[in-house]
Structure 1
Amino acid sequence: MALHKLDFEDFDEIEYHLIAIHTSLEDYRLAYFINQKLPINLGKSKDGIHISIKEGETNFSRFSYYDKENEVTWNLIQNKNEVIQQKNENSQDLFSNVNMEVSTKVYLLPEFKKVDYFLKIENTEEMITERIQLLLNTIENISTAYALDINKIKSKNNLIF
């Protein structure tokens, strides 16, 4: 019987760049403004990013675009969301038998809690990413946009979709 060995070098790792975006805009409005500044056409993806935590489950919105000509994939991903739990209080006081909704903030990348959105760009060069970052910073409602070092991200697995 033949023995097959796999080496980690046999697997192609998808190269991507990540830009953090700070803004108070809703996701669809941010996608609209990015489409105006960049030669892309981000559209709402049917497949959000599903995360399960002990408090419950949530979906992060995602807008995506695939540039066939340059073979570049673009994803605008929401970083902040909420999980709403129903809690029943059974106590003998004024608020007995009250159903309460408890909201918990959830982050796609918890180490970047202040970031509102991420722009993940696959198969592009760093120089192009720098130009994209400069263009994003010209959008009026974006407070700031900057590139992140993907080697320092602890929860990289949340970016696999």
Structure 2
Amino acid sequence: MAVRKLSLDDFLEEEHYALIGIHCVIEDYRLAFLINQILDIKLKRSVKDVTNPSLNSNYALFEWFDQKQFTTYHLVANTCKVLHNNVKQESNSLFGKDTQGASNYYLLPEFKTINYLLKIETEFLSKEKTILNKILKIPQVVTAYSIASHTLKSKDNLIFN
């Protein structure tokens, strides 16, 4: 008797997207405005941020769907700074010392130097080079480059729906 084995990979389609890492120090809304101008798109702040409940971190998300080309653009912050208070109780003190600190968390921990990610979901990835060249022309952007999706260890963090 022959044994048949089914794999989920036979039924699930590979998601087609381009990922661009952007190094810059400006605020997320300012970068979204500049990308809107240079690419002639309309990125808007999403009602829901990308969250990681285990780390208690939120990442700003801007998105836009181009109905003419069936392309979805997502601009997301890669870093999140979380403030926390630590109260240390000393043995000879009535009140503890309040110490404030901050922890940095990353959406893609393997790319800690990237400030923002631009994810372009489309069936046809032919315009990735032109988009990248336009982003590099923004004066506030230090550098930007394509990231191969097969090299990512934390692909699941890029699922925004």
- TM superposition score normalised by structure 1: 0.89
Establish whether residue 21 from structure 1 lines up as the match of residue 48 from structure 2.
Answer: no
Task: Please state how far the C-alpha of 1:94 moved relative to its aligned partner.
Answer: 7.1
Establish whether residue 76 from structure 1 lines up as the match of residue 75 from structure 2.
Answer: yes
Superposed, 1:1-161 pairs within 5 Å as: 7-53=8-54, 56-92=55-91, 97-161=96-160
For 2:47 and 2:80, the matched residues in 1 are separated by: 17
Q: Which runs of 4+ in 1 moved over 4 A?
A: 93-96
Are the aligned partners of 2:17 and 2:125 in contact in 1 as well (CA < 8 Å)? no
For 2:14 and 2:84, the matched residues in 1 are separated by: 38
Higher strand residue share? 1
Task: Please state how far the C-alpha of 1:11 moved relative to its aligned partner.
Answer: 1.6
**Cα deviation code 1:34-55 (max 9, x no counterpart):** 00000210000011100134xx
Corresponding residue SS for 1:40: coil
For 1:29 and 1:37, the matched residues in 2 are separated by: 12
For 2:25 and 2:150, the matched residues in 1 are separated by: 27
For 2:152 and 2:92, the matched residues in 1 are separated by: 47
For 1:104 and 1:128, the matched residues in 2 are separated by: 37
Are the aligned partners of 1:17 and 1:124 in contact in 2 as well (CA < 8 Å)? no
Report how many aligned residue pairs link the two structures. 155
**Cα deviation code 1:55-80 (max 9, x no counterpart):** x4011000000001111000000001
For 2:94 and 2:112, the matched residues in 1 are separated by: 34
Percent of pairs with identical residues: 32
Name the aligned partner's letter for residue 138 of structure 1.
Answer: K
Task: Please state how far the C-alpha of 1:96 moved relative to its aligned partner.
Answer: 5.2
Note the residue ranges of structure 1 that are not aligned, 5 or more in a row: none
Task: Please state how far the C-alpha of 1:101 moved relative to its aligned partner.
Answer: 2.1
For 1:83 and 1:26, the matched residues in 2 are separated by: 16
Q: For residues 6 and 134 of structure 1, do their structure 2 counterparts lie closer, same or farther at Cα, with a shift above 3 Å needed?
A: same
Q: For residues 133 and 124 of structure 1, do their structure 2 counterparts lie closer, same or farther at Cα, with a shift above 3 Å needed?
A: farther
Are the aligned partners of 2:44 and 2:63 in contact in 1 as well (CA < 8 Å)? yes
Note the residue ranges of structure 2 that are not aligned, 5 or more in a row: 1-5
Q: For residues 37 and 93 of structure 1, do their structure 2 counterparts lie closer, same or farther at Cα, with a shift above 3 Å needed?
A: farther
